[in-house]
Amino acid sequence: MTTLAEKLIEKINHLDEANQQQVLEFVETIEARQTSQQVYSARELMRLPFEIRNRLAQDALERSFEDDVELLETFDEADFYDE
C-alpha cells in the first residue's frame, strides 16, 4: 500500500522543474498560514527561515489594513494656550 507522502513524491517527480517550484511555493504558503496562527517570541521568529518571516510580516500587515484604528494626534503646550 502506498502512503500519501509516497504518492505526492511520485507526482512531484513527474513534474518539470518550474512546476515543482510552484508546488514548493504552495507548500510554503500553507506552512506560513499555519505558523501565522502561532505566537512567536523574537528569538523564535529569528530561527524561522527568511521567507517564512517575510510571509508572517506580510500577513500581519495585510490583517492590520482591516483593523479599525484611530490616529493619535499629539499636541504641545502651545496648542492649549491662547496667545
The C-alpha angle with vertex 55 and arms to 53 and 57, in degrees rounded to 5, equals: 70
Q: Is residue 70 part of a domain?
A: no
Query: Which range of residues forms the domain containing residue 39?
Result: 4-62
- Gyration radius from the chain CA atoms: 23
Contacting residues for 10 by C-beta, under 8 A, at least 6 apart: 2
> Could you give the number of structural domains in the chain?
1
Q: Is residue 43 part of a domain?
A: yes
Contacting residues for 67 by C-beta, under 8 A, at least 6 apart: none
Q: Is residue 19 part of a domain?
A: yes
For 6-29, the pLDDT digits (tens) are 999 999 999 999 999 999 888 887
| Longest alpha-carbon distance in the chain | 87
Taking only the tens of pLDDT, the chain with its 83 residues reads: 579 999 999 999 999 999 999 998 888 878 777 765 678 888 988 888 898 888 888 888 887 777 766 666 777 766 666 65
Predicted TM-score (pTM) of this structure: 0.43
